[in-house]
Structure 1
Amino acid sequence: MKRILAAAATVALLFWAASAAAQEAKIIKSHEDFGDYRVIYSVFNSEFIKPEIAQTYQLARAKDRAFVNVSVVEKVGGKHGLSSEMSGTATNLIQQSRPLKFMEIREGDAVYYLAPLRFEDEETLTFNIELKLPNGKTETISFRRKLEKE
């Protein structure tokens, strides 16, 4: 009987540990710091953009399209994006790579960059983006995301 209880306790402990690890794994990093600057990045489905905004900026909306969004702000008090230069690639798991062409979007004081991207359902992509920060230094960010048609 003691062995059964010990085994049950062990299994429960393993499930708890796996659950805790899974919760930690859900944390997705969305920025990198470089000196006085913070680079904030995300990837989102193009259908999240309202049709009128998409029309204003001539952005295509479809279930198989996403946007890579990048902005550079000052770490201290940086509420609005800063002008930068950037280029990059998106590479799938079988090492097929496609270029990212960023367009600058200005809305009031805010400045951010969008790169359109087509994807396959449940495709995992590694993004490598090279940025020229306002101080003239060149930095690289890399991150991976799994994209799904919604």
Structure 2
Amino acid sequence: MSSFRAHLCILLFMLPALSSQAQTDQPKPVETSQQFGAYTVHFSVFNSTFISPEVAQVYGLTRAANQVLVNISLTWTQDGKTTLGLPAKVSGTATNLIQQQRTLTFKTIAEGDATYYLAPLRHTNEEVVNFTVQVQPDTASAPFTVRFTRQLHTEE
């Protein structure tokens, strides 16, 4: 499904451009990746209704106005060349402001040379969620940990 990969890539890589626009209600850009040496962990959270019904059916994803998908991918850069998403072990948690913690169950999406990881998460409108995600490349002995916070909105 190259359309699915294209859709995820667009979502993953357009977020930094959107977040760099001057906004009075958000003092700093939204972080969407973190580097660990030559590795980069990319992360985004988007409403599950952004995925078409056909793609959702192929990958067994549920679309709902109150459900987001946490998207994780891992790339590696050497000599100015960056890989597509690499295979890794991915796990994580989502914790709201009253410390209710939910385990994220990631589904592996492998398309050609690219691998992505998606985890569904149900939420309430305007819920603030702190994410902690561990990503362990096949070649690394210790996982990389990324932490980020998002305010989630339901689709109307």
The TM tier, using the shorter chain, reads 0.7 to 0.9
CA RMSD of aligned residues (A): 1.6
- Map 1:44-59 to 2 at 5 A: 44-59=46-61
Identity of aligned residues (%): 45
Q: Which residue of 1 aligns with 2:33?
A: 31
Q: Which residue of 1 aligns with 2:89?
A: 85
- Aligned residue for 2:43, secondary structure, equals strand
* TM-score normalised over the length of structure 2: 0.79
Gaps of 5+ in 1: 1-19
- Mean CA deviation greater in 48-57 or 78-87: 78-87
CA distance in 2, matches of 1:103, 1:21: 34
* 1:101 aligned to which of 105, 116, 139: 105
CA distance in 2, matches of 1:48, 1:21: 24
CA offsets per residue over residues 46-80 of structure 1, 9 Å max, x none?
00001100000010001011100000001342241
Q: Which residue of 2 aligns with 1:41?
A: 43
* TM-score normalised over the length of structure 1: 0.82
How many matched pairs? 131
* 1:110 aligned to which of 111, 114, 121: 114
* 2:64 aligned to which of 51, 62, 75: 62
1:145 aligns with 2:150: yes
Q: Which residue identity is paired with 2:60?
A: Q
CA offsets per residue over residues 14-62 of structure 1, 9 Å max, x none?
xxxxxx7837625101000001100000000000001100000010001
CA distance in 2, matches of 1:132, 1:33: 13
Identify if the C-alpha distance between structure 1 residues 109 and 63 changes in structure 2 by more than 3 Å, giving closer, same or farther.
same
- Mean CA deviation greater in 20-29 or 54-63: 20-29
Q: Which residue identity is paired with 2:127?
A: E
- Mean CA deviation greater in 45-54 or 68-77: 68-77
More helix by share: 1
Q: Which residue identity is paired with 1:60?
A: T
CA distance in 1, matches of 2:96, 2:135: 21
- Mean CA deviation greater in 117-126 or 130-139: 130-139
Q: Which residue of 2 aligns with 1:121?
A: 125
CA distance in 2, matches of 1:23, 1:35: 32
